[in-house]
Structure 1
Amino acid sequence: MPKHFFVLGLDPLRRSFLESIRDAGEYRFHPLFNIDEVVNPTTFDYDATLEEARRRLDAFSGPITGILGHWDFPSSVLLPHLSREYGLRSASLEAVLKCEHKYWCRLEQRKLMPEWTPEFCAVNPFAEKPLEQLTVDYPLWLKPIKAHSSFLGFRIESAEQFNDALRSIRAGIHSFGDPFNQALAHISVPKEVGAVDGNWCIAEQIITGKQCGIEGALLDGDYRVHGIVDTVKDNKNRSFTRYDYPSVWPRQAREKICNAGAELLRHMGFDNSPFGIEFFWDAKTNTFKVLEINTRISQSHSDQFIKVHGVSNHQVPIDLAQGRITDLGQCRGNYNTAAKFMLRRYSDAVLERAPSEEEIKHIEREFPHSKVVITATRDRRLSEQPMQDSYSFEIANIWLGAQNQQELLEKYHRLADSLHFQFSDGGEPESFQFNRVRY
């Protein structure tokens, strides 16, 4: 009999990732909401979404093996919430919310590993004199307690920039803050967190160095890392430009962050779930900092795992649901290295022309195993696209594999140059002249 999984935010691209797992014919994947319902809405009602999820699951007549998620909030919180109610394996709702609440998470990190925790403080953006709450020196990052994709995140270097950022934050923070507060109402938040909720911000010390993320899982306390992904930013160190897999960090640095991840997650009470943790490493001082904990696998990394291991990282939560922990080291794909590139622009404009489906299919034939997804909407200003970061506009996602990093970067530039966009200001996307990363 097939085993049935419900997937939060399922679409054709993510379905193709799921179908790459081992013995895929033994499974049936059912959508539990589409992307427009749980990924792209400008705001939503968490409790209403939770109730609708229950209704859809109750309407299914067969046994459910597990619920899968690969997106940020609300999917990341709906998953443990529903899994608890339906008797499915998952981390607890409290552990997930503890990791996802940026201020609460920092408080816990500081207790365990203060040297890995940047300076931080909570900021109420609606306070009468919010600037007086700052205890972190400039420059700093200011971002909501709950958001994703760098939404409403600002680098602040002066009081004037702080006040400018607050105007944007006040206008947009409720879109995620209100539903996150609904989710928090389902658990007991400790007194030390106080009034800091989803409509507050966190100010943090700027972390320097290279960024890298580990993905792994825990099964009844058994901790396993299945991959390490390098996160590369632009030369302004503000916007993500690509995810490289596998990491090129030195062995000692990779071992250090893997060991730190085990200590941190056990301290948080996080178990029976996949995870991702982002770190910074300053090679000059050989010091490390934790950026954030993600309580899920990342769909942004799925194609890289397919290219390098022959199976998607979805293999991990599917195995976990059945009481198994995955070892991707036993799997081989067609490439030694792979990346997801984010094609961006810095200046705002209307997208007047994007590559057609036929053009994209032609390009994907010219670059075997590549994937191209246009993320900007034609005849719309880039600044009006949902969930952009505060410094650039994402135009397209490009997935590629190669046998070495130099070949990978050369393929990217050739492919990016063949994508024909037209903007109202006559400009072009920024393709970024990447250099090979060495240590």
Structure 2
Amino acid sequence: MSNNIFVVGLDEENQRVLQRLPWAGTYEFHGLLTPEELQHGEIDFEALLKTAQHQLDAFDGDVAAIVTYWDFPAATLVPILCARYGLPSLSLEAVLKCEHKYWSRLEQRKVIDELPNFGVVDLDDEHPAPPRGVGFPMWLKPVKSFSSELAFKADDETEFADAVAEIRAGVGRVGEPFGYVLDQVQLPPEIAQVGGAACLAEEALHGVQAAVEGYVYHGEVVVYGALDSINYPDSSSFLRHQYPSQLAEEPVRRMREVAERVMRQIGYDNGTFSIEFFCDPESGQVALLEINPRHSQSHAELFEFVDGVANHEIMVRLGLGQDPGRRPSKGKYQIAGKWYLRRFEDGVVTRVPTREEVAAIEDRIDGTQIEIVPTAGQRLSELPEQDSYSFELAQLFVAAHTEHEMTQKYDACVDALRFEFDEG
């Protein structure tokens, strides 16, 4: 049997995670396109597809699976490549029904009520206006973007106009290549009309943020984990994601039910997913924020700390056409979080913690992994893939036996990390 698994956008950190899977020694993981090719600069989807095909055709051996844990363009490359090489995968149409935020909302609306009022903003209009029925405060975002790039909250007409101007200027970078992929499937008229470089407006949701991760195998929707997403105070920027969720049973049950209904409606099969929600802890009500047609690679270590096996295992098993089966629950810790140390002002980084300093912290505080984001000399506003309101300095994985202990460990790490900046 072939044991060669190609991972679109394979990076060093996730390769280490994959190599720690219990049965990883029986498989060989190969990178297919680099993260830089996929995520930085201009995106030429057709060229990426040709490069990937050339690499696969030149490979001396059988290909057992093609998988990815990244968003567009990787998530849409995989079903196209798998179809061409006769490998198990999601359908391209199902992926696009998740990735195109407007199309996704239209599909959701057919089977659930747990979503905000929404509509498309006409970027070609000389004086764009909020869609009918969508009130302030609202979020404006491209129908397809990286992470939280070009997502803006607008509380009034002035902020609406400013956000539209920003989106209009930057939407083409992802929207144009996304439009190329949309052309590969038969689109409903309302999606063909707006295309891939449109702007979506949604009424702001309220409550605490959470997410569920799951997969669909042979039509059966399985939710295997719920996580909390906690923001910085008075900010839309994430402070941490933590697993498992500390919410009560009722909102977790409702998230699971909504996920099952929506993924069936989309026709999702043979793939992982991650769905983000807003929850009201008191009433137990939930509202769907966004569907991601992939599991979250940023959660991999969290599942590894708590369950003993990273969520990448499910991606690989589905890529091989196998039933992922039951998840283990035998990790060393009871809770784990991915924390984001951020700065909310621009500046030039003049000093970052050294590798030796980071290693010393990790040795002193068990259950921690620290990744420094910028390098000395970088201007924070020039870092790629940042949200619209802050700049990442470090990502910290912290595992513990209680949420309180985890927070204490994080604070101790931050106190020991020495960054310096030139404010000019």
1:330 is paired with a residue whose SS is coil
Counterpart for residue 203 of structure 1: 201
Matches within 5 A, 1:228-247: 228-247=226-245
| Alpha-carbon contact 1:319-1:325 (below 8 Å) kept | yes
Q: What is the aligned partner in structure 2 of residue 223 from structure 1?
A: 221
Q: Is the 8 A contact 1:20 1:310 kept in 2?
A: no
| Greater alpha carbon shift after TM alignment, 312-321 vs 359-368 | 359-368
One-letter amino acid of the structure 1 residue matched with residue 258 of structure 2:
A
Structure 1 equivalent of residue 94 of structure 2:
95
In the other structure, the counterpart of 2:3 is 3
Aligned length: 424
Deviates more, 1:361-370 or 1:209-218: 361-370
Q: Provide the C-alpha distance between the structure 1 equivalents of 2:396 and 2:223, rounded to a whole number of angstroms.
A: 25
Q: Which residue of 2 aligns with 1:336?
A: 334
Instruction: Report matched runs for 1:345-356 at 5 Å.
Output: 345-356=343-354
Task: Tell me the residue number matched to 1:50.
Answer: 49
SS in structure 2 at match of 1:73: coil
Q: CA deviation at 1:335?
A: 0.6
**Partner SS, residue 6 of structure 1:** strand
Residue 72 of structure 1 corresponds to: 71
Deviation at 1:188, TM superposition (A): 1.2
Secondary structure of the residue aligned to 2:414 is helix
Structure 2 residue identity aligned to 1:49:
L
Q: Select 1:121's aligned residue among 119, 122, 147.
A: 119
Whole-Å Cα distance in 1 between the matches of residues 212 and 20 of structure 2?
A: 21
Distance 1:358 1:170 in 2: 44
Counterpart mapping for 1:10-409 below 5 A: 10-39=10-39, 41-113=40-112, 115-131=113-129, 133=131, 135-327=133-325, 329-409=327-407
* TM-score with structure 2 setting the length: 0.97
Change (3 A) 1:14 1:410: same
Q: Please say if residues 254 and 285 of structure 2, whose CA atoms lie closer than 8 Å, have aligned partners that are also in contact.
A: no
Distance between the aligned counterparts of 1:334 and 1:284, measured in 2? 31
Moved more, 321-330 or 17-26: 321-330
Deviation at 1:228, TM superposition (A): 1.1
Q: Distance in 1 between matches of 2:70 and 2:105?
A: 22
Paired letter, 2:19: E
Secondary structure of 2:274's counterpart equals: strand
Deviations 1:286-325 (A, max 9, x none): 3221111111111100000111111111110111123333
AA paired with 2:281?
A
How many Å separate the matches in 2 of 1:273 and 1:54? 21
Whether contact under 8 Å (2:251, 2:285) holds in the other structure is no
SS of match in other structure, 2:190: coil
Aligned AA (1:38): L
SS class of match (2:239): strand
Distance in 2 between residues matched to 1:14 and 1:77, nearest whole Å: 19
Worse-superposed segment, 100-109 or 374-383? 374-383
Letter in 1 for 2:153: R
Q: CA RMSD in A?
A: 1.5
Do the aligned residues in 2 keep the contact of 1:280 with 1:290 (CA within 8 Å)? Answer: yes
Offset at residue 236 of structure 1 (A): 1.6
Give yes or no for contact 2:2–2:62 (8 Å, CA) kept in 1.
no
Structure 1 residues 25, 132: CA separation in 2 closer, same or farther (over 3 Å shift)? Answer: closer
Q: For the Cα contact (< 8 Å) 2:338–2:398, is it kept in 1?
A: yes
Q: Tell me if structure 2 keeps the 8 A contact 1:216–1:224.
A: yes
Instruction: Report the secondary structure of 2:79's partner residue.
Output: helix
Which segments of structure 1 move beyond 4 Å, counting only runs of 4 or more?
A: none
Inter-partner Cα distance in structure 2 for 1:143 and 1:58: 38
**Partner of residue 414 from structure 1, selected from 396, 412, 415:** 412
Letter in 1 for 2:383: Q
Tell me, which stretches of 5 or more residues in structure 1 are unaligned?
427-439
